Amino acid sequence: MTTLVKSPYLVFAISFFGMWLSVRLGSFFRKRQSELDEDVRQDLDLIVAATLTLLGLIIGFSFSMALGRYDQRKNYEEAEANAIGTEYVRADLLPKADAARVRALLVGYLDQRILFYRTRDESTLQVIDAHTAELQAELWSAVRAPSGEVPPPIHSLVLSGMNDVLNSQGYTQAAWWNRIPLAAWGLLAAVAVCANILVGYTARRAGGGVVRLLALPLVLSISFFLIADIDSPRRGIILVRPQNLISLAQSLQGH
For residue range 2-20, list pLDDT tens digits in order. Answer: 555 568 889 999 999 999 9
Domain around 81: 2-252
Give yes or no for residue 185 having a pLDDT over 80: yes
For residue range 200-237, list pLDDT tens digits in order. Answer: 878 765 444 566 678 889 999 999 999 999 998 888 88
pLDDT range class, residue 122, cuts 50, 70, 90: confident
Give yes or no for residue 171 having a pLDDT over 90: yes
Query: Would you state the pLDDT for residue 5?
Result: 57
Mean pLDDT of 134-145: 89
Give yes or no for residue 80 having a pLDDT over 70: yes
For residue range 125-135, list pLDDT tens digits in order. Answer: 899 999 999 99
Instruction: Report which residue type is found at 18.
Output: G
- Based on C-alpha coordinates, what's the Rg of the chain? 27
**Domain count across the chain:** 1
CA quadruple 100, 105, 108, 111: dihedral positive or negative?
negative
Query: Would you state the pLDDT for residue 211?
Result: 64
Give yes or no for residue 34 having a pLDDT over 80: no
Mean pLDDT of the chain: 86
* HEC secondary structure over the chain: CHHHHCCHHHHHHHHHHHHHHHHHHHHHHHHCCCCCCHHHHHHHHHHHHHHHHHHHHHHHHHHHHHHHHHHHHHHHHHHHHHHHHHHHHHHHHCCHHHHHHHHHHHHHHHHHHHHHHHCCCHHHHHHHHHHHHHHHHHHHHHHHCCCCCCCHHHHHHHHHHHHHHHHHHHHHHHHHHCCCCHHHHHHHHHHHHHHHHHHHHCCCCCCCCHHHHHHHHHHHHHHHHHHHHHHCCCCCCCCCCCHHHHHHHHHHCCC
For residue range 40-76, list pLDDT tens digits in order. Answer: 677 788 888 899 999 999 999 999 999 999 999 999 9
Query: Would you state the pLDDT for residue 204?
Result: 62
Query: Would you state the pLDDT for residue 108?
Result: 94
How many CB atoms are located within 10 Å of the residue 92 CB?
Answer: 11
